Structure 1
Amino acid sequence: MRDFFKFFGPIAILLALGFAIASRYINPAPPRQVRIASGAPQGAYAESARRYREILARDGITLEVVTTSGSIENLKLLQAPTGGVDVAFVQGGTAAPDTPGLLSIGSVFIEPLWVFVRDAVPARYVADLAGRRLAVGAEGSGTRVLALQLLRATGIREGPHVLGTGGDEAVQALLKGTVDAAFFVTARPFPQLEPLLRTKQIRLMSFAQADAFAQRFRFLSKVVLPEGRLDLAANIPAADVNLLTPAAALVAR
């Protein structure tokens, strides 16, 4: 999946350069310091923010990277009257496209939804996860928003079995068997998701209804992860996998 960065990386750089150049023509001139909400320190948002910081520094602009829990917190910071941020990464589908006071600069990369299920759970469809213990992502994360949207669309409502667990905590919960399935949204499955991809008792769910989901939720696209794409020698995944993916956007206030 590193191809996502190879493909979208130049676009991200152009966006950052465009932001820096455009700032020269804004009247009145903006401050020489800009704050960007990035997400988790090891995530794709943080990596892109660090690239932006390097590029903007060449133009004399200091970019302060603010670590957050994810897209929902990023949106709150963008809309905060004081102490907020100027720019943020926002996962597609977490905000209305016409949100007052916000401007989408453009999409920077796609970030697929990865749903891992314990092999003992016979789940072919999302609806098959009804009644199972689900780690759907932490509060404030785009993962949680997307997971709940898909679950509700298939008739699964929130309850004690839907847990606000995400990231490394969700990985460990699935490995220990304290949850039956876990949701992750990331453009970079390695290294975080590698233990799940290499554990025989856990499988990556292929969305059998990917086309239907993509038609219902217009911010989603279907992508196919080819057999062996992540590891040719170990043949991971062992078969083609249908994934659903939103796009990460750079949004300014």
Structure 2
Amino acid sequence: MTGRPMSRRGLLEAAVLAGPAAALAGCSADTGPVWRLRLATGAPGGPYNAFGKALAAEAAQAAPRLHITPVSTSASVDNLRRLGDGSADLGLAMADAAEDAARGRAPFSRPAALTALARVYVNYTHLVVPAYGPVRSVGDLAGRSVATGAAGSGGQVLAGRLLQVSKLTAQRAVRQRQLGLADSVRALRTGTVDALIWTGGVPTPALSDLARELPLRFLPLDEQAATLRDTYGPVYTAVTLPAGAYGLTAPVGTIGVGNYLLARSGVPQPAVREVLRVVFDRWRALLREVTAGARLEPRFAVATGDVPLHPGAVAYYRSVYG
């Protein structure tokens, strides 16, 4: 990756805080404007869907002027396209897919006018096989069937890159099955696929349930994490599936990638500030069903790489944290 952007501190200092006006859904002389925002999430039962529902519920309790409607989608890539065409106001996306959209890299045909509100938590990549099966390393996947995530999801993008850097393309190609998490789990349980690749919080409940039915092996991805970082930049990090999760007796190194809460640039600054107030006031409830033990801190939240912060987010962080 070439030419990293200026530091996040520089972005905070340089951003112009007066953004374009946007139409409000409703207004009252007594209560002020009411903001109605569509939040593109993910498939029912997945972590984005859970986060979106939790954010809508917490906003309803803590911010009467803020009405968030979660919309089920195919996740990251779908969400980014919806933000681009204006059919969503807010959206969740994995950092790698969001940066591809911001730069106009495939699968996006042109740079998207995206803004970030926060980096909210980190996804952990799970490469899962039956414990007593023949696959004991990433290389053993050659020629086998692998569930790589739903079409239109950021997980599918990461899985494709993981297979590419593992040289599991061309003559050694795996047979990719674009399946969502529930279908991937079902396929692994029945032997329809030899492995599944999933990126999400730890523990992911569907995988915890599967581990109680079927002994599993989680393949280490330390080498691939380093290669992805060298190839695509710091959007990818080395993280560890902890001992105890899924019955693991020892930690397993894997690939981490952040998740961004995003907004189209036309969302009014006061609405963005109100969204972030709810996010930071209620982060424990928002992350409870997504990833155990996660925290949301400002120095972590502003690290959104190539995706610039929305001017309302800049104003929020400067007013609250200086």
TM range (shorter): 0.7 to 0.9
Given residue 199 of structure 2, which amino acid in structure 1 is its aligned partner? V
SS in 2 for 1:39: coil
1:197·1:203 contact (CA, 8 Å) conserved in 2? no
**Structure 1 position 78 matched with structure 2 position 72:** no
2:21: which partner in 1?
27
> Aligned match of 1:149 in 151, 158, 161?
161
In structure 1, the partner of 2:182 is 168
Is 2:62 the partner of 1:68? no
User: How far off is 1:197 after superposition?
Assistant: 2.6
Q: Indicate conservation of the 8 Å contact 1:143/1:185, yes or no.
A: yes
Which runs of no fewer than 5 residues in structure 1 stay unpaired? 1-23
1:104 to 109, 116, 132: 116
SS at match of 1:137: coil
From the superposition, tell whether residues 63 and 225 of structure 1 become closer, same or farther in structure 2 (CA, over 3 Å): same
Amino acid across the alignment from 1:179 = V
Superimposed CA distance per residue, residues 145-198 of structure 1 (whole angstroms, 9 cap, x where no aligned partner): 110111112222276821112211111111111111101111143421123333
Report SS of the residue matched to 2:52.
helix
Q: Say yes or no: does 1:223 pair with 2:235.
A: no
Give the letter aligned to residue 67 of structure 1: S
Q: Is the 1:35–1:85 contact (alpha carbons within 8 Å) kept by the matching residues of 2?
A: yes
Question: How many residue pairs were aligned?
Answer: 223
Go from structure 1 to structure 2 and tell me whether the alpha carbon gap of 1:26 and 1:60 turns closer, same or farther (over 3 Å shift). Answer: farther
Question: RMSD between aligned alpha carbons?
Answer: 2.5
Normalised to the residue count of structure 2, the TM-score between the two structures is 0.63
Percent identical residues = 28
Report what 1:94 is aligned to: 97
How has the CA–CA distance of structure 1 residues 157 and 183 changed in structure 2, closer, same or farther, with 3 Å as cutoff? same
For 2:56, which of 50, 53, 56 is the aligned residue? Answer: 53
Q: Which amino acid aligns with 1:27?
A: A
Query: Which structure 2 residues correspond to residues 101-250 of structure 1 after superposition, within 5 A?
Result: 101-119=113-131, 120-124=133-137, 126-157=138-169, 161-199=175-213, 201-209=215-223, 210-218=225-233, 219-228=235-244, 230=245, 236-250=247-261
CA contact (8 A) 2:38 2:89 kept: yes
- Superimposed CA distance per residue, residues 51-87 of structure 1 (whole angstroms, 9 cap, x where no aligned partner): 3324443241211110011111111111125xx1011
Does structure 1 retain, via aligned residues, the 8 Å contact 2:143–2:174?
Answer: no
Question: Which structure carries more helix by proportion?
Answer: 2
Q: Is the 8 A contact 1:166 1:183 kept in 2?
A: no
CA contact (8 A) 1:72 1:140 kept: yes
Q: What is the distance in 1 between the residues matched to 2:192 and 2:57?
A: 42
Mean CA deviation greater in 184-193 or 106-115: 184-193
SS of the residue 2:205 aligns to: coil
Could you tell me how far apart the structure 2 residues matched to 1:127 and 1:213 are?
A: 16
Question: What is the rounded CA distance, in whole Å, between the counterparts of 1:141 and 1:60 in structure 2?
Answer: 31
In the aligned structure 2, how far is the partner of 1:51 from the partner of 1:26? Answer: 29
Q: Is the radius of gyration larger for structure 1 or structure 2? A: 2
Deviation at 1:92, TM superposition (A): 1.5
C-alpha distance in 2 between matches for 1:27 and 1:213: 40
User: CA separation in 1, counterparts of 2:56 and 2:222?
Assistant: 40
Q: In the alignment, is residue 37 of structure 1 matched against residue 40 of structure 2?
A: yes
Q: Distance in 2 between matches of 1:237 and 1:51?
A: 29
Mapped to 2, the partners of 1:170 and 1:220 lie a distance apart of 23
**Structure 1 runs, 4 residues or longer, greater than 4 Å off:** none
Question: Could you tell me which residue of structure 2 aligns to residue 8 of structure 1?
Answer: none
